[in-house]
């Protein structure tokens, strides 16, 4: 289920999210004082990589007062390049299920969007360009609403890049 950088010409750096289905967790907790997220994935399940074209990943947050308390809404947007049967099948599968997303900002801070009880949902839009030099692929929007701010994960248990793109360890 990994969506990796395609192997054709793609100028720019690597931007990635980690994604897991909400049903993959045996337990999941957010400490409401520290917003630290702790969790355990069910045996045989993992976080997957979600590649986005350089500089297309953005996260919008909205805070709204309601009668039940403050509601935090998030939209995670990115563009996944290259239309293909594999990517279409994978995105269709993701759209059918709730997801939890980990995103790392350029300062190395990891935020967790969604929980098993309040998962993110995916909306997809295919872009077919009118000319060769335009973007070809998918504009994605993941949306979730939480009763608390998105949590933080400093466990560093999952690398944000696929194994073949990991930097070599220092010698």
Whether 169 maps to a domain, the answer reads no
What DSSP letter does each residue of 8-77 carry, written as one string? Answer: S---S--EEEEEEEGGGEEEEEE-TTT-BEEEEEPTT---EEEEE-TT--EEEEEEEEETTEEEEEEEEE
Whether 125 maps to a domain, the answer reads yes
Picking from 48, 46, 53, the residue whose alpha carbon sits closest to that of residue 5 is 53
Token pair in block for residue 62: 């909205």
Domain count along the chain: 1
pLDDT computed for residue 159 by the predictor = 62
Q: What is the dihedral of CA 62, 87, 124, 139, to 10 degrees?
A: 70
In order along its 171 residues, the chain shows pLDDT tens digits of 666 655 544 433 335 689 999 999 999 999 999 999 999 999 998 888 888 776 788 889 999 999 989 999 999 998 887 777 888 888 888 888 999 999 887 777 889 999 999 999 998 776 666 555 666 788 889 999 999 999 999 776 666 666 555 444 333
Residues 6 or more apart whose Cβ sits within 8 Å of residue 153: 36, 37, 102, 110, 111, 112
Whether 4 maps to a domain, the answer reads no
pLDDT computed for residue 13 by the predictor = 35
Q: Which three-class secondary structure state does DSSP give residue 120?
A: strand
> To which residue do tokens 């009880």 refer?
117
Whether 3 maps to a domain, the answer reads no
pLDDT computed for residue 82 by the predictor = 74
pLDDT computed for residue 89 by the predictor = 84
pLDDT computed for residue 37 by the predictor = 96
Q: Domain of 52?
A: 15-158
Whether 75 maps to a domain, the answer reads yes
Whether 163 maps to a domain, the answer reads no
Whether 65 maps to a domain, the answer reads yes
Whether 170 maps to a domain, the answer reads no
């Amino acid at each position: 289920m990994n969506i990796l950088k395609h192997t054709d010409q793609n100028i720019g750096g690597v931007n990635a999210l980690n994604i897991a289905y909400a049903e993959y967790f045996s337990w999941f907790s957010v400490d409401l004082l520290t917003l630290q997220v702790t969790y355990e994935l069910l045996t045989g399940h993992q976080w997957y990589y979600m590649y986005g074209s350089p500089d297309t990943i953005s996260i919008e947050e909205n805070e709204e007062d309601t009668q039940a308390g403050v509601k935090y809404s998030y939209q995670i947007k990115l563009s996944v390049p290259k239309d293909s049967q594999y990517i279409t099948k994978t995105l269709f599968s993701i759209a059918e299920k709730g997801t939890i997303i980990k995103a790392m900002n350029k300062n190395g801070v990891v935020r967790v969007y969604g929980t098993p009880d309040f998962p993110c949902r995916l909306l997809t839009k295919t872009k077919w360009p009118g000319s060769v030099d335009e973007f070809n692929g998918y504009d994605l929007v993941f949306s979730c609403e939480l009763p608390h701010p998105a949590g933080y994960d400093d466990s560093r248990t999952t690398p944000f890049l696929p194994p073949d793109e990991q930097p070599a360890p220092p010698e």
